[in-house]
A and B are shown apart, each in its own frame.
Chain A
Amino acid sequence: MGDHDHAIAGSPTGVTAVGRNDRGEISEPFVWALPRLSWRQTRARIRADRDRLKSLLLANAGFPQPILLHPSFVCVFLYRISNHFFRAGHSFLARLFWQFNAMLTGADISAAADLGEGLVIMSPAGTAIMGTAGRNLTVMPCAGMGGELGRRENVGAGPGLPLLGDEVILEPHSGALGPIRVGTGVRVTGGVAVTRDVPDGFVVEGPTPRFIPRRDLS
């Protein structure tokens, strides 16, 4: 997961990505023109992420927890900083924070990913994210979103990348892959890789497990 088969270079108008398709041909250059964010706007997003995480933990655990030490907050904080620099055209600093995030938390969240406020990544180790998502995205352990080999259409999130709506939940080991649109309020259950469009409010379910008696115990 995570579409990294492209080279990114800073430019005054945005960030240009040039990729190659499976036949080795160089694709048309794509300019990532994410609007710049001021530090005030970035801080507001971080605050919204922190508040959502806090409310989620408080509602479930019933007592406050040290949010600043929570892996989700650290991971999302570093992503927000790297995304801020990316939007400002400082691709080196963006890359630096991206790498630091991967080293510290084990999450590979591209600086070019455009994720709305209220982002929660429950256990960042093994998470890979690239694409666009709306508000209140919940990413559970080892889930992710990104490109799929051989598909480079643009649905509004960049070439070959998924576009997720608001309030989407990605359960453990699930993924949204390729140029697809996932609607608002969609829940992708564990172990499922979505490669097609999903309308609003749907649950994408995988196969139900079967129980077989263990012969080695009998």
Chain B
Amino acid sequence: MKAVSSECLSREHHRAHAIRVGLAEDMLRHFTKSPENRALKICVRTRLSALLTPELMALALYRVAHFLYVNGRWRIAFCITWLNFLINKVNITPQSCIGPGCRLAHPAGVTFHGSAGRGLTLYSLAVCCPDSSLNGAMASAPKLGDNVALGAHAVVIGSFCIGDGTRIAQAVRLASDAPAGVLVVSSSVRPRIRARSELPGQPSRPSGLAMESR
């Protein structure tokens, strides 16, 4: 059996009911994310409909792959991960240990390899991976606490710990530990907006000819 983190065992991810519990909380999060979803009458049809959204389909496939990986069926686990990548273009490795109540706002392009507690939120194109290799050992992967949110295009790279309730703003690259309950923002200055005519050698209006020449 491959190395399985103690977190997975303590959360009983090797038991089949962990898939059901995890998915139930993921679905609950899906149904409470907006007033429109909260207004839905929850029945078998709406549950099935929710399960076929890319968000929940990606999470369901990940949870099955993780369950198989923890139980030593790592070849099938990697096959399911590949299927998940093929269908949803989301790359959540089977070694990753994600608690229940996860939300993937837009799965395509999201990459996750690490461990996270309950209520993880990953916005579009968020990346969380160890340094230099995506499939690195879990010891070198980031560890996220409960209710952590990664904004769009945010990057967490390296074996660092992020405290509970921390939110990482969009387009931030975090390569250090972050305490609990903080908002991590980029220290760069705000983008400056200028008219194109102010730039040297630029036309005053976009010509649009580049599109025609494709």
* Stretch of A31-39, A40-48, A54-62, A111-119 on the interface side: A54-62
Q: Output the least CB separation between A104 and chain B (Å).
A: 7
Report the nearest B residue to A126, measured CB to CB: B109
Contact A20 B213 (CB under 8 A): yes
Indicate the member of B157, B167, B187, B209 with the most A CB atoms within 10 Å: B209
Q: Given A23-B207, A173-B171, A217-B165, A141–B109 Cβ distance below 8 Å?
A: yes
Q: What string of 1s and 0s marks CB contacts (under 8 Å) between A59-71 and chain B?
A: 1111101100111
Interface membership of A12, Cβ < 8 A: no
Q: How far is the CA of A141 from the CA of B153 in the complex (A)?
A: 10
Interface membership of A132, Cβ < 8 A: no
Q: How far is the CA of A217 from the CA of B153 in the complex (A)?
A: 24
Q: How far is the CA of A106 from the CA of B179 in the complex (A)?
A: 35
Interface membership of B127, Cβ < 8 A: yes
* Stretch of A76-84, A85-93, A177-185, A204-212 on the interface side: A204-212
**Total interface residues in chain A, CB < 8 Å:** 54
Q: Which residues of chain B come closer than 8 Å to A60, judged between CB atoms?
A: 130, 132-133, 135-137, 140
Q: Of residues 7 to 39 in A, which have CB atoms within 8 Å of B's CB atoms? A: 7, 18-20, 22-24
Q: Name 25 A/B residue pairs within 8 A (Cβ), A-sorted.
A: A5-B213, A5-B214, A6-B213, A7-B213, A18-B213, A20-B210, A60-B136, A60-B140, A61-B137, A62-B137, A65-B74, A66-B79, A71-B85, A123-B129, A125-B89, A138-B132, A141-B134, A150-B201, A173-B125, A173-B173, A190-B157, A206-B186, A209-B174, A209-B186, A211-B183
Q: Which residues of A contact B (CB under 8 A)?
A: 4-7, 18-20, 22-24, 56-57, 59-63, 65-66, 69-71, 104-106, 122-123, 125-126, 138, 140-142, 149-150, 169, 171-173, 189-192, 206-214, 217-218
